[in-house]
C-alpha cells in the first residue's frame, strides 16, 4: 500500500522491521531483474543497495555494509550514459545474482533482530544523501539522545532531507565533539538535563562549550511549563514533544541553520558610454552585486534572456535608441513588465525626467551620483522587486515555483540547452494515491505531506535545478546539464527517501510514495516533446504499479 499506518519505533526491535523492509524490497528487485533486465530496474536496485549500505554501516553491521558496497560497485558498472544501456554478459548477470542472493541471506539472518553493539560515545553518524550530487554543503546536526532506537529513527528521518546527523548518548562525549568541531545545531533530549545531578552545572557546561550562534532544539516527553523553562535556560530556541514529526523538525532546522547564502542582485547596465558604465559596474560589484554592461541597446532582449537581471540601469540619451524608447519597448513584453527600470542620466529637466518615468521607468537618478547613493537606491528597488516577485511567482503552500512560472522557466532552460547543445532532463512527479491521504487524515495533513516533499526536493537537489508545483499533488523538476540516466538515479533516490519519511496524524504514522517520469534532451528534441514524453513516462509509472521512476524513450 502507498499509504499505511505504521507503529512508532519504540525499541531495538524496530531494527528487525527496518531490515525486513529492506529484505522485501531486495527480493522484489531481484524478481524484477530476473524477469526483465532494463535501466529502470537496475537503477532501483542500485538506490536500494545504497540505502542498505548506509543504514548497515551506521548501525554497526560491517559485513552487511561491505557486501552491499561490493554489489553497488558491480551493479553501477552496468550503467552507461547510452539509452538503453548495453546488457551485461551472462557471467556478469550470474555474479550479480549470486551476490544479491548472499545479501538476501544476510538480511534474513535472525541476528538482525537484536540491536548491534554500539560505542557508548558515538551512536551513529548518518547522512542519507551521500550519493546525491548536491551543490549545497550538508549541515551537521548533533543529537544528544539516550534511546538508541529513537535516535536511529530521528537520524534517518532528518538525513532524508540532506542533513548529516551525529548522535551521542553521553554528555561529556558530546562536549568533546563540540570543542573539536561545533555543529550547525544541537538537538537535545531533556532527559539528560533532568537526570543530571546538578542542572545548573549542566547548563553552564553546555553554554561554555557551545558557540552562542549555535541554535539548540529541545526534545522532551513532557509538556509542562517547568520542562519548557529548563529548556529555555539551556538556550533552547524550539521545543518538540516526542514523537517528533520529521517534517516539522526539518522546518525548524531550515529556519535556524539552512538559510541559503543571499543571491547577489543582478543589474543590467545599458549605456553607450562604456567607461562610465564600467565605473558604475565596479562600484556595484564592490557592494556584492553582479553586473552586465550593454553598450548596444538594440541587443537588450538577448541580455534580458541570458542574464535575467533584477534591475535595469538605463541611460536616457544613446545614439541608436533613447532610453525612453527602449523602456517602452521592454514594457511591451509581458515577461518584463514588472522588472524595475532606473534611469541614470545627466538630464536635470524635471518634466523630461517625469516623461521618461511615465513611459516605463520606475525612478530617475541624475549624474554624477555618489556610489553610496547609487547602491542604496538600487538595493531598495531590487529588494522590493524580489519580495513582490516571490509572491507572484511562488506557490503559497509549498514555496516552490507556481505552474505558470515553472512552465516559463522550463521553456527557457530547454531552449538554452538546445542553443548550447547541452544535456537537460525534465522530471514529472506525482504523489501516489494522494486522495486517500486527504480522505483518511484530513486536508491539513495532506498539505503537510505536500510541503514535506517540497522541502525534500529543495534541500536535496542542486541550487541550479528548477523545482515547481505543477498543480495539486504534481511537481516538476528541471535538471540542467544532466542526462536521463543521471536524472533517474537522482529522482529514484529521492523517491526511496521520501517513501521512508514518517508522516504523523494524531496518534498514527503513515508513509506516502510518489511516481515519476523522466524525459531528456537531446533524446527529445524540443520543449513540447520533452513535456509530452515526461508526462507519458509518468503515466507508465502509474500503470506499472506506482512508486517507481520511468525514463521516456527517445522521441
In a domain, 398, yes or no: no
Domain end position, chosen among 371, 392, 413: 392
Looking at the fold, whether 247 and 136 belong to one and the same domain comes out as yes
Alpha carbon distance 187, 175 (integer Å): 13
Q: Which helix (H) or strand (E) holds 86?
A: none
The C-alpha atoms of residue 266 and residue 290 are separated, in whole angstroms, by 5
CATH of the domain at 155: 3.40.50.2300
Global pTM value: 0.62
- Are both 434 and 522 inside the same structural domain? yes
Cα 27 to Cα 105, 233, 317, 506: the distances in Å are 11, 51, 73, 33
Q: Which residues pair with 514 in a beta bridge?
A: 431
Claim to verify: residue 34 and residue 126 sit in the same structural domain? no
* Structural domain span for residue 303: 266-392
For residue 438, the surrounding DSSP H or E stretch is helix 434-441
Helix (H) or strand (E) holding 281: helix 274-286
Domain presence at residue 261: no
- Of 256, 280, 310, the residue at which a domain comes to its end is 256
Closest Cα to residue 165, out of 181, 183, 178, 182?
Answer: 183
> Do 165 and 103 fall within a single domain?
no
- Residue where a domain stops, chosen among 79, 95, 113: 113
Claim to verify: residue 194 and residue 235 sit in the same structural domain: yes
Give a yes or no: residue 397 inside a domain. no
Residues 426 and 538 occupy one common structural domain? yes
Query: What pLDDT tens digit does each residue of the chain (555 aa) get?
Result: 333 333 332 333 444 555 677 777 788 888 887 777 766 677 677 767 876 776 676 556 677 777 887 887 777 666 543 344 455 666 777 777 777 777 777 766 644 444 343 332 222 333 333 334 443 445 788 988 877 667 767 877 887 887 888 888 888 888 988 988 889 899 999 888 888 878 888 888 998 999 988 899 999 989 999 999 988 988 898 999 988 888 888 888 888 875 555 789 999 999 988 888 899 999 999 999 999 999 988 999 988 988 889 999 998 888 888 888 898 899 898 888 889 999 888 878 888 888 878 877 888 888 888 889 999 999 999 988 888 887 778 888 898 999 988 998 999 899 989 999 999 999 999 999 999 999 999 999 999 999 999 999 988 898 889 999 999 999 999 999 999 988 998 999 899 889 888 888 877 889 999 999 999 999 999 999 999 999 999 999 999 999 999 999 887
Please give the Cα distance from 175 to 186 (Å, whole number).
11
Is 481 domain-assigned?
yes
> Domains in the chain: how many in total?
4
- Domain containing residue 450: CATH number: 3.30.70.270
Residue 190 backbone class (left: φ over 0; alpha: ψ -120 to 50; beta: rest): alpha
Amino acid at each position: 500500500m502507498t499509504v499505511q499506518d505504521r507503529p512508532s519505533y519504540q525499541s531495538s526491535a524496530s531494527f528487525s522491521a527496518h531490515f525486513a523492509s529492506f529484505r522485501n524490497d531486495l527480493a522484489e528487485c531481484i524478481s524484477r531483474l530476473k524477469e526483465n533486465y532494463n535501466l529502470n530496474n537496475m537503477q532501483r536496485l542500485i538506490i536500494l543497495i545504497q540505502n542498505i549500505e548506509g543504514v548497515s554501516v551506521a548501525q554497526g553491521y560491517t559485513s552487511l555494509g561491505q557486501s552491499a558496497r561490493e554489489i553497488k560497485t558491480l551493479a553501477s558498472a552496468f550503467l552507461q550514459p547510452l539509452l538503453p544501456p548495453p546488457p551485461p554478459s551472462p557471467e556478469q548477470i550470474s555474479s550479480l545474482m549470486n551476490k544479491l542472493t548472499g545479501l538476501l541471506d544476510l538480511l534474513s539472518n535472525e541476528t538482525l533482530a537484536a540491536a548491534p553493539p554500539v560505542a557508548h560515545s558515538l551512536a551513529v553518524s548518518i547522512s542519507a544523501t551521500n550519493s546525491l550530487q548536491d551543490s549545497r554543503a550538508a549541515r551537521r546536526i548533533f543529537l544528544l539522545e539516550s534511546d538508541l532506537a529513537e535516535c536511529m529513527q530521528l537520524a534517518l528521518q532528518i538525513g532524508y532531507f540532506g542533513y548529516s546527523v551525529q548522535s551521542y548518548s553521553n554528555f561529556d562525549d558530546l562536549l568533546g565533539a563540540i570543542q573539536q568541531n561545533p555543529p550547525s545545531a544541537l538537538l537535545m533530549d531533556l532527559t539528560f538535563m533532568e537526570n543530571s545531578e546538578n542542572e545548573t552545572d549542566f547548563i553552564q557546561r553546555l553554554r561554555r562549550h557551545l558557540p552562542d550562534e549555535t541554535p539548540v532544539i529541545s526534545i522532551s516527553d513532557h509538556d509542562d511549563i517547568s520542562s519548557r523553562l529548563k529548556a529555555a535556560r539551556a538556550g533552547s530556541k524550539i521545543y518538540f514533544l516526542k514523537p517528533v514529526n520529521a517534517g516539522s523538525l526539518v522546518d525548524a532546522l531550515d529556519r535556524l541553520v539552512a538559510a541559503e547564502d543571499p543571491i547577489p542582485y543582478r543589474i543590467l547596465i545599458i549605456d553607450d558610454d562604456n567607461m562610465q558604465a564600467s565605473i558604475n559596474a565596479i562600484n556595484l560589484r564592490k557592494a556584492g552585486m553582479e553586473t552586465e554592461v550593454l553598450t548596444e541597446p538594440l541587443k537588450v532582449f538577448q541580455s534580458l534572456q541570458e542574464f535575467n537581471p533584477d534591475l535595469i540601469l538605463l541611460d536616457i540619451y544613446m545614439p541608436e535608441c533613447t532610453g525612453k524608447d527602449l523602456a517602452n519597448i521592454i514594457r511591451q513584453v509581458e515577461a518584463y513588465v514588472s522588472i524595475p527600470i532606473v534611469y541614470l542620466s545627466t538630464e536635470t529637466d524635471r518634466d523630461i525626467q517625469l516623461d521618461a518615468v511615465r513611459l516605463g521607468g520606475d525612478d530617475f537618478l541624475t549624474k554624477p551620483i555618489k556610489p553610496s547613493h547609487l547602491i542604496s537606491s538600487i538595493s531598495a528597488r531590487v529588494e522590493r522587486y524580489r519580495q513582490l516577485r516571490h509572491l507572484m511567482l511562488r506557490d503559497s503552500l509549498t514555496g516552490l515555483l507556481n505552474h505558470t512560472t515553472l512552465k516559463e522557466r522550463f521553456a527557457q532552460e530547454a531552449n538554452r540547452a538546445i542553443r548550447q547543445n547541452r544535456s537537460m532532463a525534465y522530471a514529472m512527479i506525482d504523489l501516489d494515491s494522494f486522495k486517500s491521504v486527504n480522505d483518511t487524515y484530513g486536508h491539513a495533513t495532506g498539505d503537510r505531506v505536500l510541503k514535506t516533499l517540497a522541502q525534500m526536493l529543495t534541500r536535496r537537489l542542486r541550487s541550479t535545478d528548477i523545482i515547481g508545483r505543477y498543480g495539486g499533488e504534481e511537481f516538476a523538476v528541471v535538471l540542467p546539464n544532466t542526462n536521463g540516466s543521471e536524472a533517474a538515479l537522482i529522482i529514484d533516490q529521492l523517491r526511496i527517501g521520501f517513501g521512508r519519511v514518517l508522516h504523523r496524524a494524531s496518534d498514527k504514522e503513515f508513509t506516502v510514495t510518489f511516481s515519476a517520469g523522466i524525459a531528456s534532451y537531446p533524446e527529445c528534441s524540443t520543449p513540447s516533446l520533452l513535456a509530452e514524453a515526461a508526462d507519458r513516462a509518468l503515466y507508465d509509472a502509474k500503470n506499472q504499479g506506482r512508486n517507481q521512476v520511468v525514463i521516456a524513450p527517445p522521441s
